[in-house]
Amino acid sequence: MFKKILVANRSEISVRVIRACRDRGIKSVAVYSEADRESLHVRLADEAVCIGPAQAAGSYLNVDAILSAAAVTKAEAVHPGYGFLAENADFCQACQDKGLVFIGPKPQAIRNLGFKSAARELARRAKVPVVPGSMGLLGEDFMKEAHQVGFPVMVKAAAGGGGKGLRLVRDPKDLEAQLRMAKAEAKSAFKDDSVYLEKFIEHPRHVEIQIAADEVGGVVAFPERDCTVQRRHQKLIEESPSPAVTPEIRRRMQEAACSLAKASGYSTVGTVEFLLDTDGSFYFMEVNTRLQVEHPVTELVTGLDLVDIQIRLAAGEQLPVAPERAGEIRCHAIEHRINAEDPDRDFAPCPGTVERLSLPGGPGVRVDTHLYAGYTVPSYYDSLLAKLIVSAPDRAGAIARGLRALREFEVGGIKTTIPFHQKVLAHPVFRDGKFDTRFIEATSCAT
């Protein structure tokens, strides 16, 4: 087992990984930008190294600075968290070249599965159903390919995720302009403007399967997470099990996810994402070759520690959990992403100083956060402040517990999305569980 791990990230995910290290008796190293000098992850780590200015390009995306910090502190492994360099194959390779263990997949697996068009082709070969789309990256015949796929179509960046480089095109006359904007956004976000086309599914749910795999071919699949409640392709609420997934659909999704992992030689934890249609059909969408923001949902439902499993797999252990244990559903869990945004001003970012903080507690309530009273939320990064995860024996109980916990959750001095989450939980469509990815736009929850 490792003696020291460097966490190449910031905010709540760094806190989460540092705590997992401490549970296992592993020393942790935090890296931080000048804007994050007072962040909680810096305080909790055994060692901390400043790696650059506030702008992410000079700090959290600065590979040389991170590798230098690992060398200076004599870290043996690097945990990338999510975002930033977590799905960057070149960073993974650079870690390996320096003798560091990258706590994640191998560089080639990131290239094969993190690059969406390549992942689609792998899925086809593994006989995993995929959304109809272009047979590769778009070239000069983009209009012809779009007509072959059939409008409406989605223009999608081949690299990255998080809703970047993504455009819905219903009318052929809009395709060229939307394609140009998608490519520009992809180039800015991922330094790669490659795009491809997918058929647009009108009323889908976004359902994903968490997997874990070891180096000797063992693969397990966990219960699904439903990530359908989104705004502008950004997940806001996740839950497990999905109110739309039957045991048979779950079994088929898990089998498809495991087949793809085996076909690609994948190892470590990861997530296979699907679109679920109204008729029960599902289609492969992409693979996230990292820990997900919403991983605590699976942890509460199964009672397993995914970060610990991830670290153990990186240390060369075989899967520490049997398939039947990984698939157990012990409760219903719902996660709320609490952001520093003002729902009354079209979710405008609201950085600033946290003047007071009161976190909810009690049975079935977990809060993952880097906040504390007096902390100043910087304007340079993602607006995620905390993740409130609640669990109960059934969905109705989880909703009731979520409403109670949201009422207890107080963040003074800045605007947050807590009122938005209260609206969603109180909405009859959400309570009925009969919604699709356009739920937020189709209701009054976003206003």
* Integer angstrom CA distances of residue 293 from 25, 62, 66, 136, 162: 24, 22, 22, 29, 11
* Model pLDDT for residues 201-219, shown as the tens digit of each residue: 889 999 999 999 999 999 9
How sure is the predictor about 108, in pLDDT bands with cuts at 50, 70 and 90? very high
Closest CA to 129 of 219, 199, 234, 223: 199
How sure is the predictor about 190, in pLDDT bands with cuts at 50, 70 and 90? confident
Q: Which pLDDT does position 372 carry in this prediction?
A: 97
The span from the CA of 207 to the CA of 381, in Å, is 27
* Cβ pair 20, 308 in contact under 8 A: yes
For the segment 103-122, the average pLDDT, to the nearest whole number, is: 89
Instruction: Kindly report the pTM of this predicted structure.
Output: 0.91
| 3-class SS of residue 150 | coil
* Model pLDDT for residues 289-310, shown as the tens digit of each residue: 999 999 999 999 999 999 999 9
* Integer angstrom CA distances of residue 132 from 101, 145, 199, 285, 328: 37, 11, 5, 10, 32
Q: Which pLDDT does position 133 carry in this prediction?
A: 83
- Name the residue with higher pLDDT: 203 or 400: 400
Q: What is the CATH number of domain 205-442?
A: 3.30.470.20
4-103 maps to CATH 3.40.50.20: yes
Per domain, the residue ranges of the chain are 4-103, 132-199, 205-442
Q: Which pLDDT does position 447 carry in this prediction?
A: 67
How sure is the predictor about 117, in pLDDT bands with cuts at 50, 70 and 90? confident
Please list the active-site residues. 290
Strands (E), 158-281: 166-169, 195-199, 205-213, 219-231, 234-240, 268-276
The span from the CA of 156 to the CA of 171, in Å, is 16
Select 132-199's CATH number: 3.30.1490.20, 3.40.50.80, 3.40.1280.10, 3.40.50.2000: 3.30.1490.20
